[in-house]
Amino acid sequence: MLKKTFVGATVLIGLWHVGTNIKAAQPVAQTSPYLAFKFRGVSDRKGQSASDAITIKRAERAHFQIQYVTNAPYRAGRGVDYGPLSIRAVNQHPDFFKERPGPTVSLEVTRVDPNQRELLPVRVFSSGGGYGDGVHYLSVSIDILEPEIVRQERLRKFVSQMREAAQRSGFPTAPAKSGSDPARLPHFDEIYISNPVGVYQLKATFQPDPADPRPRLSASAYINVLDGPDSLDLITQKLSPKK
């Protein structure tokens, strides 16, 4: 009887030990409110370090949500048709912030380099936001910009290639207007996506009251841009005659 009791106690101690180890291995939940990134089709654990960065192609934008997690019910005040998250984006109406506070969210992209950390310009698009289950969210897409002189030269080359291809195919082409610069045409610039290859830290900062810089929340994620064709290369490949 004593032997059975001893064995039973040993098993219970072993199970307690395993249980405590499992519990200790679980990630510590963040205390709300907090700010977070949610990338489309990517685990929340991904992108927490430069060695486990979220990968995107050179010719694609990064799509994600910026989430303000409160775990509390929310109801907008009377006459208020916007949430607390807002960001300045290139696809917004010029008067977007005329009748509302903001922007309350800013983004920074820094190249991760052992010798130098370089802040790069980004182009931001936003399709708006919403709220659900204690989470305010803002849907955002970005691409990282090359130096302006590099972008302009690439766009001029692309327009020249398209003009020559049209002429070879027998399509009429209007002569370029004197003084016009195809590199500065908005529709060409918008379709040109060429994220510089490398690993970057993406940081979002949320400042609820733009007039008061003290209460701030931030979130970070790492992205890795893979080498490959840019968006203009892909267009050229599709338009090239198949052999």
pLDDT confidence band for 11 (50 / 70 / 90): very low
More confident residue, 143 or 26: 143
pLDDT of residue 239: 80
pLDDT band, residue 165 (cuts 50/70/90): confident
Q: Which of 11-25, 158-172, 214-228 has the lowest mean pLDDT?
A: 11-25
Average pLDDT for 187-194: 90
Looking at residue 20, its pLDDT comes to 40
What the block records as the tokens of 7 is 């064995």
pLDDT at site 99? 81
CB neighbour class for 123 (10 Å; exposed up to 12, middle 13-18, buried from 19): middle
Contact between 197 and 57 (Cβ < 8 Å): no
Does residue 142 surpass a pLDDT of 90? Answer: yes
Q: Which of 37-41, 169-173, 199-203 has the highest mean pLDDT?
A: 199-203
Q: What is residue 23's predicted lDDT score, i.e. its pLDDT?
A: 39
* pLDDT exceeds cutoff 60 at 22: no
pLDDT category, 21, cuts 50, 70, 90? very low
Q: Are 221 and 52 in contact (CB under 8 A)?
A: no
pLDDT: which is higher, 154 or 2: 154
pLDDT of residue 238: 87
Mean pLDDT of all residues in 9-15:
40
CATH of span 28-145+196-226: 2.60.40
Q: 90 falls in which pLDDT band (50, 70, 90)?
A: very high
Q: What is the residue type of 210? A: P
Question: Is the separation of the CB atoms in 217 and 68 below 8 Å?
Answer: yes
Question: What is the mean pLDDT of the segment spanning 35-58?
Answer: 94
Q: pLDDT-based confidence at 66, cuts 50/70/90?
A: very high
Check residue 128 and give its pLDDT: 92
The reported pTM is 0.79
Alpha carbon separation from 90 to 36, 140, 144, 186 (Å, rounded): 23, 11, 14, 11
Residue 132 vs residues 74, 101, 137, 143, 191: alpha-carbon distances, Å: 9, 22, 8, 27, 33
Q: Which of 73-77, 92-96, 142-146, 173-177 has the lowest mean pLDDT?
A: 173-177
Is the pLDDT confidence value at 14 over 60? no
User: pLDDT value at position 204?
Assistant: 97
**More confident position, 131 or 163:** 131
